[in-house]
């Protein structure tokens, strides 16, 4: 009588899982076997070299215009004409808005006529006074009348000028907020005006860097809007007080902006060169972090990788200063560290220069 062996689905699943795990680990086991048999792992290396290494203070700041103002009217009146468009670049004193001014013009004309008549009468009285036909009192009264009319005209001229809205300085206008025929009141925003020829940027640095910043010091700014472009400027002011809560101090810098690329409100990354030191430098990709320690693989004279603990100092993007653990001229692995084991043989397939990149 034939007996049939029954396999449970659970047993079949366990066997399949074991086969999959063996399959996944086979290449790694094969690599280790090759290394034990003397196989060399291909790697890319770089030499540790001593060179000038700038120490950079980094900060974030917000750009503001050199001068900025909201264009508003001083009197409540109807808009007669609009003499600008959105985003126009204007000169200082350029006429932007004309409000209805018929009453003020009529008042100025009336006073001009009265002044002309008063001056004519003053001249006639002066002639009579020379012949003793008019008293000094009458002459003084006419002079006072002329002066009073001139003062009234000055007031009328000022009221008329308030109906002609002009740019207080040269710059770029924002969006227009009024139209012909609309009623504007004092405080209503007609547009904005920004002097963008120079951009100011305010940022904070730690009090530990206070001794490293001064007026006239160069800075480099970067914006996410122009990732491949650097904007050079200089520090113009360092605040007189340190914030007792954050232990930071405010710094202001100015950046020339002749091409008007930078705009108020932009977030800028500020780099200040604190000092330049002579440092032993390697690519940051060579570091192998383990807990709070850092290691690198150093190539010895037998083309083998030796795992070495290092003490690091200053960092900059892509590069790191080595204080202890590696000597100048030694080669460290920068690519292929995941495939290398301590004491394993390696094959150098490329070398990355350090000096030309830092």
Q: Residue 78 corresponds to which tokens in the numbers above?
A: 């109807």
pLDDT digits (tens, 9 = 90+) for 30-79: 445 444 445 688 888 888 888 887 778 889 999 999 999 999 988 888 99
- State residue 51's pLDDT score: 83
Q: Is 8 exposed, middle or buried (0-12, 13-18, 19+ CB in 10 A)?
A: exposed
Mean pLDDT value across the chain: 84
Q: Residue 312 corresponds to which tokens in the numbers above?
A: 């690091």
- State residue 2's pLDDT score: 44
At residue 332, what are phi and psi to the nearest 5 degrees?
A: -120, 150
Q: In the block, which residue shows the tokens 């690198």?
A: 296
C-alpha span between 135 and 126 (Å, rounded): 10
| pLDDT tier at 303, thresholds 50, 70, 90 | confident
Judged by DSSP in three states, 187 sits in coil
- State residue 24's pLDDT score: 53
pLDDT digits (tens, 9 = 90+) for 116-149: 888 888 888 777 767 776 677 777 788 888 889 8
Q: Which of 2-6, 164-168, 188-192, 306-310 has the weakest average pLDDT?
A: 2-6
C-alpha span between 213 and 131 (Å, rounded): 79
pLDDT digits (tens, 9 = 90+) for 275-286: 777 888 999 988
| pLDDT tier at 23, thresholds 50, 70, 90 | low
Element containing residue 7 per DSSP (H, E): none
Annotated domain spans of the chain: 37-53+278-352, 56-66+197-275, 101-162
Domain 37-53+278-352 fold: 2.40.420
Q: Do domains 37-53+278-352 and 101-162 have the same CATH topology?
A: no
- State residue 14's pLDDT score: 64
Question: Are 72 and 188 within 8 A, CB to CB?
Answer: yes
Superfamily of domain 56-66+197-275: Efflux pump adaptor protein, beta barrel domain (2.40.30.170)
For the chain, give the percent of residues with pLDDT over 70. Answer: 87
Q: Residue 198 corresponds to which tokens in the numbers above?
A: 């120079």
Judged by DSSP in three states, 337 sits in helix
Question: Are 274 and 314 within 8 A, CB to CB?
Answer: no
At residue 205, what are phi and psi to the nearest 5 degrees?
A: -130, 160
| pLDDT tier at 3, thresholds 50, 70, 90 | very low
- State residue 344's pLDDT score: 86
- State residue 167's pLDDT score: 92
pLDDT digits (tens, 9 = 90+) for 311-347: 998 887 788 889 999 988 899 999 888 888 888 888 8
pLDDT digits (tens, 9 = 90+) for 164-209: 999 999 999 999 999 899 898 988 899 999 999 999 999 999 888 8
One CATH from 1.20.140, 1.10.260, 1.10.3470, 1.10.287 for 101-162: 1.10.287
The arithmetic mean of pLDDT across residues 85-91, rounded, is 90
pLDDT digits (tens, 9 = 90+) for 230-276: 999 999 999 999 999 999 999 999 999 988 899 999 999 999 887 77
C-alpha span between 97 and 224 (Å, rounded): 36
Residues 6+ apart with CB under 8 A from 40: 303, 345, 346, 347
Q: Residue 223 corresponds to which tokens in the numbers above?
A: 């914006």
Residue 223 vs residues 60, 101, 201, 272, 333: alpha-carbon distances, Å: 10, 47, 12, 15, 34
C-alpha span between 254 and 232 (Å, rounded): 9
Dump strand ranges (E) for the chain.
41-47, 49-72, 77-82, 89-90, 95-99, 164-166, 171-173, 183-184, 189-206, 218-223, 226-242, 248-256, 267-283, 288-290, 293-299, 305-316, 319-324, 331-335, 346-352
């Amino acid at each position: 009588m034939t007996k049939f062996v029954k396999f449970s689905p659970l047993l079949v699943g366990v066997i399949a899982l074991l086969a999959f795990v063996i399959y996944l680990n086979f290449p790694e086991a094969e690599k280790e076997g090759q290394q034990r048999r003397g196989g060399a792992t291909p790697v890319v290396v770089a030499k540790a070299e001593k060179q000038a290494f700038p120490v950079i203070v980094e900060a974030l700041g917000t750009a503001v215009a050199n001068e900025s103002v909201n264009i508003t009217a001083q009197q409540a009146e109807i808009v007669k004409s609009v003499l600008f468009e959105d985003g126009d670049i204007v000169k200082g004193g350029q006429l932007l808005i004309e409000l209805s001014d018929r009453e003020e013009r009529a008042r100025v004309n009336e006073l001009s006529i009265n002044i002309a008549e008063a001056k004519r009468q003053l001249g006639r009285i002066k002639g009579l006074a020379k012949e003793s036909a008019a008293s000094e009192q009458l002459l003084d009264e006419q002079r006072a009348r002329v002066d009073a009319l001139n003062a009234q005209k000055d007031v009328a001229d000022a009221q008329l000028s308030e109906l002609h809205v002009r740019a207080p300085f040269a710059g770029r206008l924002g969006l227009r907020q009024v139209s012909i025929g609309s009623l504007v009141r004092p405080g209503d925003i007609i547009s904005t005006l920004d002097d963008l020829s120079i951009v100011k940027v305010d940022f904070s640095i730690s009090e530990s860097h206070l001794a490293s910043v001064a007026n006239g010091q160069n800075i480099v700014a970067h914006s996410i809007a122009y990732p491949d472009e650097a904007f050079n400027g200089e520090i113009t002011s360092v605040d007189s007080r340190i914030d007792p809560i954050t232990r930071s101090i405010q710094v202001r810098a100015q950046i020339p902006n002749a091409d008007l690329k930078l705009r108020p409100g932009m977030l800028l990354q500020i780099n200040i060169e604190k000092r330049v030191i002579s440092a032993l430098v390697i690519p940051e990709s060579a570091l192998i972090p383990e807990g709070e320690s850092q290691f690198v693989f150093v190539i010895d004279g037998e083309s083998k990788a030796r795992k070495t603990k290092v003490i690091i100092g200053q960092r900059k993007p892509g590069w790191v200063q080595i204080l202890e653990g590696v000597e100048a001229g030694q080669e460290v692995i920068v690519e292929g560290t995941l495939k290398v084991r301590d004491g394993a043989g390696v094959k150098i397939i490329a070398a990355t220069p350090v000096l030309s990149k830092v």
